[in-house]
């Protein structure tokens, strides 16, 4: 397959050779060499003293670019011509990749993605927290590059078009299939596009999930009240689409469920499963989540008493208890806590209990509750207030699970100021073809 911007086979030109100062006809275009991938989705180059961020490029690429935004210390640019693709560049397989923006690293070979993610974690800890790990463990790649998402969120337009939101835009991109989604989810796009105009109520967003039992679940957020006239349409949809086990709708002040909208999650492939209702959090990459859970359980040993903050439905709590620890799971979502407790009871796990509470409030009221290890897995925004409380309470060890290196580093800086050392750091890729990376960090009280 010929690379975009490269000459036809058998053709050579001095304009395409690395090091040339002319490889396109735009005299205003700058020639740049891409050195790395940024913490965002872009490639990084330098022009004089200024950092230039360029989308759609890979390390080693030589490109002509046009500046589209200029600031004091950095600029943003767009590619005019790819003069010489680097060894990490490849043709992205998804025809919607440039419009959708959900997988901005598809054009980067997977080993280079992993290298960039590990470096970005290290750089964030050094630049923001001013710490380095005693033991930085080799990044763990996802088991599968493609078709790994068990959950996707789609938007519904005013014309009832269905798709992903274009990057930095409100335009909806109507994809035909999603290269990173489980094929069961892509197969629902056509039936849903037939369903939407048949409904009298307007849906704002739709989330599709595999249910862990060979089928799928559809959940949606609606504008306005529920329309009873839509009941027959939804029941017919369930009858017609055999893979869908349940539909769950939510609007302001109301919810309606049809069929069985619960999902079943097995955290590490061996631990007893968790039954979750709609709206409770699950990791998007089921197979990579197994690797994450195993890493947390391994790093947690030999702790006998564990406090699991932001525990959700028990993705980490239940495996830790199954491994022999006494675990107290805390989360502000009462429904997730109820699901966790029910799953623990069904599995006969007696070493784990759960409490519905905001993590910061729990720490203020109950402290560490006898735990020698605190595990926390907060949302992307991090846990600034909780880090402050942990710095005050000073547990012997902390395992911080994060999907954002910047907020992780910010909170680790708080712990470092309280005389914690960063021992082990384990990056794990749950999100191939994006800049996002999961990290398990162990902080140890000096």
- By annotation, the residues acting in catalysis are 403
Angle between helices 384-393 and 359-366 (to 10 degrees): 20
Reported in sequence order, the residue ranges of 20-94 that DSSP labels E, i.e. its strands, are: 30-33, 36-37, 43-47, 50-54, 62-70, 74-84
Is the four-CA dihedral 67, 69, 73, 79 of positive or negative sign?
negative
DSSP 405-441: HHHHHHHHHHHHHTTEEEEEEEEE-SSTTSS--EEEE
Cβ-contact 416, 422 below 8 angstroms:
yes
The angle at the Cα of 91, spanning 87 to 94, to the nearest 5 degrees, equals 145
d(CA 85, CA 87): 7
What's phi and psi for 104, nearest 5 deg?
Answer: -75, -5
Cβ-contact 320, 293 below 8 angstroms:
no
d(CA 79, CA 65): 4
Cα 201 to Cα 177, 197, 233: the distances in Å are: 25, 9, 11
Which H or E run includes 375? strand 373-376
d(CA 375, CA 59): 35
Is the four-CA dihedral 383, 416, 330, 368 of positive or negative sign?
negative
What's phi and psi for 112, nearest 5 deg?
Answer: -70, -35
Task: Say how many Å lie between the first and final Cα of the chain, rounded.
Answer: 56
At residue 343, the 3 state secondary structure works out as helix
Cβ-contact 258, 246 below 8 angstroms:
yes
At residue 253, the 3 state secondary structure works out as coil
Cβ-contact 284, 149 below 8 angstroms:
yes
Q: What is the CA radius of gyration of the chain?
A: 24
């Amino acid at each position: 397959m010929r690379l975009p911007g490269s000459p036809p086979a058998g053709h050579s030109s001095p304009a395409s050779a690395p090091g040339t100062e002319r490889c396109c006809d735009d005299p205003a275009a700058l020639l740049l060499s891409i050195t790395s991938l940024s913490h965002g989705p872009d490639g990084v180059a330098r022009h004089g003293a200024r950092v230039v961020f360029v989308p759609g490029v890979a390390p080693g690429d030589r490109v002509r670019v046009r500046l589209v935004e200029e600031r004091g210390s950095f600029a943003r640019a767009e590619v005019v011509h790819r003069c010489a693709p680097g060894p990490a560049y490849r043709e992205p397989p998804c025809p919607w990749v440039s419009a959708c923006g959900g997988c901005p690293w598809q054009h980067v070979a997977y080993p280079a993605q992993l290298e960039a993610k590990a470096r970005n974690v290290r750089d964030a800890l050094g630049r923001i927290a001013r710490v380095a790990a005693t033991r930085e463990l080799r990044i763990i790649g996802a088991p599968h590059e493609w078709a790994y998402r068990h959950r996707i969120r789609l938007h519904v337009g005013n014309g009832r078009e269905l798709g992903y939101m274009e990057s930095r835009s409100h335009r909806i991109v109507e994809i035909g299939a999603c290269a990173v989604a489980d094929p069961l989810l892509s197969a629902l796009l056509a039936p849903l596009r037939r369903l939407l105009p048949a409904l009298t109520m307007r849906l704002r967003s739709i989330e599709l999930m595999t249910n862990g039992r060979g089928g799928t679940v559809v959940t949606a957020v609606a504008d306005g009240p529920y329309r009873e006239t839509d009941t027959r349409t939804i029941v017919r949809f369930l009858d017609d689409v055999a893979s869908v086990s349940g539909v769950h709708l939510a609007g302001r002040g109301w919810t309606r469920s049809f069929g069985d909208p619960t999902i079943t999650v097995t955290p590490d492939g061996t631990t007893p499963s968790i039954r979750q209702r709609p709206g409770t959090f699950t990791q998007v990459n089921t197979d990579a989540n197994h690797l994450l859970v195993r890493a947390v359980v391994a790093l947690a040993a030999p702790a006998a008493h564990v406090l699991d903050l932001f525990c959700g439905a028990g993705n980490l709590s239940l495996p830790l208890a199954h491994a022999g620890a006494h675990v107290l799971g805390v989360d502000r979502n009462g429904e997730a806590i109820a699901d966790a407790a029910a799953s623990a009871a069904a599995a006969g796990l007696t070493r784990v209990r759960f409490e519905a509470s905001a993590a910061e409030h729990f720490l203020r009221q109950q402290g560490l509750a006898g735990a020698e290890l605190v595990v926390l897995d907060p949302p992307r925004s991090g846990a600034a207030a909780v880090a402050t409380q942990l710095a005050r309470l000073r547990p012997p060890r902390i395992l911080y699970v994060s999907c954002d290196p910047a907020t992780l580093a910010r909170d680790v800086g708080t712990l470092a100021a309280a005389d914690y050392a960063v021992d082990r750091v384990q990056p794990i890729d749950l999100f191939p073809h994006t800049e996002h990376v999961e990290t398990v960090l162990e902080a140890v009280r000096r």
